[in-house]
Every structure is written in C-alpha cells, then in structure tokens.
Structure 1
C-alpha cells in the first residue's frame, strides 16, 4: 500500500463511496471515517460493512479504521466488533501483520 493523504468525507460522500466506489476508494474509506467522523457509531458501522467484502486489503484496512476509532473516540461496541477482529486475525493471511498491529492498538486504546 502506498502512502496517500487521508481525505475527509461527508456522510453523504461516504454513503456514495460505499455504494459506488472502486476497490481503491474502499481501501482508504475506513481510515477516513475512523480518523475524521464525529460519530463513532457511524464510523464503526462503515468499517463493519467493509469487513463484509471479499477483498482482504479492504478488510485489513477496516480493522485499521476501527483502531483509528478506538484511538480518536475511545469507543467501540466490543460485542459487535471483537468477533470481526478475531476472524480477521485468524483468516486474513495476505495482510496478517496489518490486522495484528491494528488489533493490538484496539485492545490497548479500549483497555480490553
């Protein structure tokens, strides 16, 4: 993954990207919502939706987005989020290190 500045999107733009975006758009979306969204539940929902894709990089970045939410807001719904984290740790071989480091950050910031 090459470095690109993270763009800030409105909720309408986020919804549009979720529905019509390319894989390249979707790869960065979770980090944007994790960093910039004022509504942690909305951001969490976006990341969870991105975790439904078949693309392992998008899923890895969705875990990274959740770590941004944990860092910025110190809020995540553990009952909902933790099973997704555990699944990605076990199954995402292509981006295992990214998932592992993001999960460690989530557990640190959330005090889990």
Structure 2
C-alpha cells in the first residue's frame, strides 16, 4: 500500500504572521506562511530577503521551505536578486538534509529566470 500526499496550498499570509511565527518558533505556521507569501504576496523582495534570513534555521523544514519558496518567487515573479540568492543557495548545497531541495530550487531559478545552468556559482 502506498501513501500519497494530497496537494495543499496555504492561504495568503502576511509579513507579520511569518515574522511572529519565526520569533515564536512555531514551525508549522512559519512554513505555511512562507509558502503563502511566496504564492500570493506581491512584495517579492521582502519575501526573498525573509527566505534568505531563514536558510540557516536549525529546523530542516524551514531551510527546505525557504529554498522551495525562492524557486516559487522566480516562477511567479520572474525576478530575484540573483547576486544574493544564488550564492546563498550554492553555499547550502552541502547541507545533508536539504541539499537536494536546494539543488532543485537552483534549477527552478535558472529555468524561470532564463539563466544558463551554473551561471552564478557562489
């Protein structure tokens, strides 16, 4: 018997919700609000900088979600500050818990921003 995850899209979130969840250590609310922001918030730069802040979070789920959300921003907004984002992601490729997720996020960013693969190694 195989287990199958159903698709879940978090509702739109606010900057205050994400910031408060981070401060409170509420990982479930934090990761839900991170995805909600990536999918629905128009301020891609605020979101990008928030995700960069939590790329070193002690919780694996937060680090992985931050990388995934950076890929979402590239897909939805077709812009990121690649001079900041790609070096930060490349520096986390060796994280044994989220390295594969980071690699996928880099590929998404390269694809959605039409960058040559490996164009910006950090």
Q: What TM-score do you get using the length of structure 1 for normalisation?
A: 0.84
| 1:36 corresponds to 2:36 | no
Q: CA deviation at 1:108?
A: 0.7
Instruction: Write the distance in 2 (CA, Å) between the matches of 1:108 and 1:5.
Output: 22
Q: CA deviation at 1:69?
A: 0.5
Name whichever of 23-32 and 102-111 sits farther off.
23-32
Gaps of 5+ in 1: none
Instruction: Write the distance in 2 (CA, Å) between the matches of 1:63 and 1:100.
Output: 9
Q: Larger relative CO (CA 8 A, sep 6+): 1 or 2?
A: 1
CA RMSD of aligned residues (A): 2.0
Aligned pair partner of 1:46 in 44, 50, 58: 50
Instruction: Write the distance in 1 (CA, Å) between the matches of 2:76 and 2:63.
Output: 20
Gaps of 5+ in 2: 116-122
Greater C-alpha radius of gyration: 2
Q: What TM-score do you get using the length of structure 2 for normalisation?
A: 0.78
Name the residue aligned to 1:10: 14
| 1:26 corresponds to 2:30 | yes
> 1:21-76 CA deviation, whole Å, 9 max, x = no partner?
41222333332221111111111011112113122321121010000100110111
What is the aligned length? 111
